[in-house]
Amino acid sequence: MDRPGLVTGDDGATVRRMDPYPVHDYDPIQQPGADWRGRARKLVGPIVAAIVALAKWSFLLVKFSSIFIAFGGYALIFGWKFGLGFVVLLLLHELGHFLEAKRERLNPKLPVFVPFLGAYVRYTRGNPWQTARVALAGPILGGVAALGFLLAGRANGSQALVALGYTGFFLNLVNLLPVGILDGGAIWRSAGWLRRGGGSEKALVVYTLYFATAALLVLGMAVAYFPQHRL
């Protein structure tokens, strides 16, 4: 019996048959159907990526949007140049709190602006010694910022920059008032707790820094002051 592809000759020998027209398996080309899943992935993929990116960076948008809102509000009242300088003064004041709280490992949050009310930095409350130093850092760096505006204004003959310097000295001095939620209130409360709790030396340091900062801010206001004859 012949096996597939083999034949038996007349002499009884089995040889391979040479088929001049071999038969091969053949699958005709078929037109593929519409790949709806692939198309859906291509369409939805970029949208999902955009949503993930927005969720990832939304906290930055929220934080910094308050700066732009504050700038817009102050610009409407004082003009955009003075409004920008005013926001910079507030930002540097709050960065003083932020940097010192960071150094104290109190987990500070980025500054948040409240238009026409100022700005604030949230951080984990520490002991009175830490709280006093964080509270002092704002007016100190804010006073340095005001000095920068004053020097720049004097060097360039710009009354607007000098006025911003005066404004910075004044705002930081007001913040040192020992009342309520102002920096001065936190400083005096902390110094009192230190004094009554056996930390009289640290309380003395706090009082010294407090009065020295206030005196320098008053001096800065006196130097930056110039008379105005119009509103």
The rounded distance, in Å, linking the Cα atoms of 90 and 145 is 9
Q: Looking at per-residue confidence, does 76 or 125 come out higher? A: 125
pLDDT band at 55 (very low <50, low <70, confident <90, very high): very low
The whole-number pLDDT of residue 150 equals: 95
- Mean pLDDT of the 195-211 span: 93
Copy the structure tokens of residue 17: 């048959």
Per the model's pLDDT, the better-predicted residue between 17 and 132 turns out to be 132
Judged against a pLDDT cut of 80, whether residue 77 lies above it is answered with no
CA gap 188, 181 in Å, rounded:
11
Mean pLDDT across 67-72 = 56
> Structural domain boundaries of the chain?
42-224
Per-range mean pLDDT, top range of 23-32, 55-64, 160-169, 221-230: 160-169
Q: 10 Å Cβ neighbour count for 156?
A: 11
Q: What is the pLDDT of residues 116-158, one digit of tens each?
A: 677 778 898 889 999 999 999 999 999 999 999 999 999 998 8
Please tell me which residue, 47 or 5, carries the higher pLDDT value: 47
Mean pLDDT, the chain, whole residue set? 78
CB 149 within 8 A of CB 168: yes
Question: How distant, in Å, are the alpha carbons of 2, 20, 91 from that of 13?
Answer: 11, 21, 102
Locate 134 and state its tokens. 């964080």
Is 122 within 8 Å of 129 (Cβ atoms)?
no
List the beta strands (DSSP E) in 18-175: 112-114, 118-120
Mean predicted confidence (pLDDT) in 110-121: 77
Return the percentage of the chain with pLDDT > 90, whole number.
44
For the cut 50, the answer to whether the pLDDT of residue 103 exceeds it is yes
> Who wins on pLDDT, 71 or 166?
166
Q: What distance in Å separates the CA atoms of residue 112 and residue 118, rounded to the nearest whole number?
A: 9
Task: Check whether 3 has a pLDDT greater than 70.
Answer: no
pLDDT-based confidence at residue 66 (cuts at 50, 70, 90): low
What does the alpha-carbon distance between residue 82 and residue 103 come to, in Å, rounded to a whole number?
Answer: 32
Give the 3-state secondary structure percentages of the chain, helix then strand then coil, rounded to 5: 65, 5, 30
Block residue for tokens 């930390």: 199
CA 48 to chain centre: 25
- In order of 71, 145, 155, 186, the CA distances from 165 in angstroms are 17, 8, 13, 25
Which residues, including other chains, have CB under 8 Å from residue 101's CB and lie 6 or more apart?
Answer: 107, 108, 121, 123, 134
Per-residue pLDDT at 231: 44
- Most confident range, picked from 2-6, 120-124, 130-134, 227-231: 130-134
